[in-house]
A and B are shown apart, each in its own frame.
Chain A
Amino acid sequence: MTTLVYGLITGILFGALLQQAEVLRYEKQVGAMRLMDMTIVKFMLTTIVVGSIGIFLLKDLGLVSFDPRPLSLGLQIIGGLLFGLGWALIGYCPGTSLGALAEGRYHVIWPILGMLIGGLVFAFLYPMIQEHIRPMGNYGPISVADMLGINHWFVILALAVGAGFLFRFFEKHNL
C-alpha cells in the first residue's frame, strides 16, 4: 500500500514537471527528432546528470544497490530502432502520452490505443524475441564504468561536461 502511495505521489510530481517543461507536446518531441527544438533533450539530460550524481552518492554510501539493465546488442539495437521509428510517427513516448491526454491533447488516444495493441503484439512475439534476438551480443548488466575499467565518478563527470557543452550549443543556436 505504501509503495502504491509513493508511486502516485512521485507520478503527480513528475507529471507536473513534464507539463511545466512543455515536454508533453507532440511539437517538442517531434521537434527534437527534426533537430529544431531540443527542449526534451535539455530536460532529459539535466534529469540524468542530477539523477546519476544522486543515485551513485546513495550507492557509495551503501544506502541503495542497483545493477544496470542487461545489455543485449540485438535487443537494444533492433528494439531501440523500432521504438524510434514509431516515436516519430506518434510524437509521444509511453510516459508522456498519458500526460498529454491530461493536458487536453485528446488526439493522443490513438497513439495510446496503438501502444496497447503493441503490448499485445509483443506478448505474442515474446518467445521468438527471447530465443532469436536476446542472444545476439548478450553481455549482461554491464555499466560504462565497468566497460572502460574506470571509476563511475569519471563517467558522471564526463557526462556532465558533455551535457554542458551540448546545452551551450543548443542555447547559442536557439534550439
Chain B
Amino acid sequence: MKSRAWMKPYICGGLAGLLLVASVAIAGQFFGTSTTFPRMVTWLTDSVGIDLSHLAFFQASGGSLTGAAFPDWQLLFVIGIALGAFLSSIATKTFQLEPLPPMWAKRFGNRLGLRIVHSVIGGILVMVGARMAGGCPSGHGVSGVSQLGVSSFLALVMFFLGGIFMARFLYGGRSS
C-alpha cells in the first residue's frame, strides 16, 4: 500500500469528481463554499442586533447572499466537510492538534501575533476576492472549470498567480 501512496491524491480526486456528478444528478447542486462566509457573518451581526439591512448587499439576489438564506444546501455541505474531515482524521489517526502551521513557524518563528496579522489580512483578501470573482477553488475551481466556464478558468489561473506571487514574497525562492 505504501508504494502506492503517490496515487492517493488522484484516487481521492477522482472519487470527488464522481461525488460532484452524483450531487448534480441527485440534488442539482454544484460544490461551492465561499458564499457561506458572508451569509454566516451577516447572520451573526443580525443575531447580536446590528442592523445592516440598509446595505444594498442585503437586497442583492433576493437576499440570498445573506444569513436570510440559512439553512441551505451549502451551509450543510460546509458543516459536512468538517464532520467528514474529523471522522476521517480520527479513523486514520491523523488528527493532530497544531498551534501554528509547521512550515509557517519554520519561516516566521513561534509568533502567534504575526500569524494572526497574516490570517486576518489574508482572510479578508481571500473572501473579498472570492466573492468578487464569483467563487473559490471549489466553486470556480472544481465546479466552474468542470462546466468549462471561461470565467472559472480565468479565476483559477488568477488564484494561482496571486498565490505564487505572495508565496514567493513570503518564502523567497524554492531553495529556502
Contact = CB atoms under 8 A, between A and B. Distances in A.
A68 B147 contact: yes
A42 B124 CA distance: 27
B40 to A, nearest CB: 6
Interface in A28-84: 30-36, 39-40, 42-55, 58, 63-64, 66-73, 75-84
A14 B55 contact: no
Contacts of A42: 9-10, 13
Interface in A2-22: 3-22
A15 B125 contact: no
Is the contact region of chain B dominated by helix, strand, or loop, or is it mixed? helix
A34 B165 CA distance: 9
Contacts of B150: 68, 71, 139, 142-144, 147
B101 A11 contact: no
Contacts, number: 510
B158 A84 contact: yes
B60 A90 contact: no
Contacts of B128: 79, 82, 118, 121-122, 125
Interface string A112-124: 1111111111111
Nearest to B122: A89
B81 A89 contact: no
Interface residues of B, number: 130
A152 B27 CA distance: 24
Q: Which of A4, A83, A125 has the most CB of B within 10 A?
A: A83
Nearest to B141: A44
B97 A104 contact: yes
Nearest to B133: A79
Given A14-B77, A79-B131, A102-B82, A52 B147 contact: yes
A89 B133 contact: no
Contacts of B78: 11, 95, 98
A6 B123 contact: no
A94 B140 CA distance: 12
